[in-house]
Amino acid sequence: MATVIVIGAGLGGMSAAYELKAELGKQHEVILINDKPDFEFTPSNPWIAVQWRERKETSIPIEPHVKKKGIRFIHAALTELQPAAQQLTLSDGQTLRYDFLAICTGPALAFDEVTGAGPESGGTTSVCTLSHAEECRHSVSALVDEPGPVIVGAMPGASCFGPAYEYAFILDRHLRDKKVRKNVPMTFVTSEPYIGHLGLNGVGDSKGMLESELRMRDVQWICNARTVAAQDGQMTVEELDDEGNIKRTHTLPYKHAMMLPAFVGIAPLRGIEGLVNPRGFVIVDEHQRNPAFPQIYAAGVCIAIAPSHKTPVPTGVPKTGYMIEAMVRTLSHNIKAELSGQPPVTKAVWNAICLADMGGHRCRLRRHAADPAAQRRLVQERKVGPSGQDRLREVLPAQDAGGGYRAHLRKTDAQIPRHRQDRMTPQTRPSPGLLLAALRGKTGLSIMFQDVAAGGAGFTLPAASAIIRASYQ
């Protein structure tokens, strides 16, 4: 019996544990390690900050769900990894050996690279973690009570720009609902060379669309922004030209600031030669395997992906839920192959598909990794109908959900009987990309599973926080 360890239980780690157990069965042991006892659905954090969701709606305890599938869970943090010896040490003192290791830790947050930034220093707020979003909520409440200037954006080296735009639009909507938006000047400050760059050199007409959305909400912006400091209610920002020279320096006052930081690899991995790059991200090949230590695979935000081009202020490449699912499936198939004595042959295609809540409507961004120039897609869906409800109809193409099913995300108002919810199985659960789409839908969304072999017959599940509970039971 081989031991396969998964470190990290976010979207990538949870999916990896389930995929690996489904692939390997009872013949091999799968261990899931996480520094928190709960799975937290990070994409919902902007909603937490404005009280549109509560912790219990976006997180679930890990152990009771994975235990049902025969996955051993350890609540502890990684403190040391010895890849040559194929062993690791945890914060509870345990030392474990592994035959294969899947690193899905996510990143560490590099707030320290900007003076005063981050919740701990107090200069800016964050929605990078559930706890950060709950702290951010206090700052938002204070803003409503005493309106003042707001800054939202991303700092040098950031790679996850989508949540910054989302937060700006969501906060704008929240302040309008509270009847104080007219007293809150907003500025979007980003390291991107232009609005809508997103770390991908744009997706379709993301530049024009996002600029238009910001203008409609009376949000000013500064691009090529090198944030230097955020202290005592003032942010110092150096705006660079296309050659990387300082064009002007801004001193911006703020009552509330939410700035996404750059990411780095987690501390126990940094400096391990051959495993990680200088920023601490895990180096992987086309099979999601580390070239220096072939027993180690990795997926998610923790892996190294080089930017496609240089920007005046450093920007990283985002790793979306849809992309992470592709990585996870690749590593699970390849680990199974290796345990069967076969070489790894499965390769991940890193397509980027993102859904964004824009405070009053939604958009979908799609970029195909195989042909980015020819296959970029952008779809925008605005509020429709007298009720003001958002409609979201098949925002993703039909997806292979396993077990002979295809999955579609649809708008529906129907209540789904509990016995049909119980038909959810690991083989028919939606991918994290679809879960992301479902969980972020505010009203009346569902996932429909279509049985291809039965000529289209299928069943439907409500797309609410219950969907992720069902899928991980």
128, 223, 302, 354: which one is catalytic?
A: 354
Q: Is 160 a catalytic residue?
A: yes
Give the chain's largest Cα–Cα span: 66
Residues 168 and 140 sit within 8 Å (Cβ to Cβ) = no
Cα(128)–Cα(160) distance, integer angstroms: 10
Listed residue (45, 49, 30) closest to 96, CA to CA: 30
* Torsion angle of the four alpha carbons 139, 141, 146, 147, in this order, in degrees rounded to the nearest 10: 80
104, 128, 160, 363: which one is catalytic?
A: 160
Q: Is 363 a catalytic residue?
A: no
Amino acid in position 18: Y
Cα(114)–Cα(259) distance, integer angstroms: 11
Pairing of strands 445-451, 458-462: antiparallel
Residue 376: strand pairing partners? 367
Residues 153 and 260 sit within 8 Å (Cβ to Cβ) = yes
CA 206 to chain centre: 19
Residues catalogued as catalytic: 160, 354
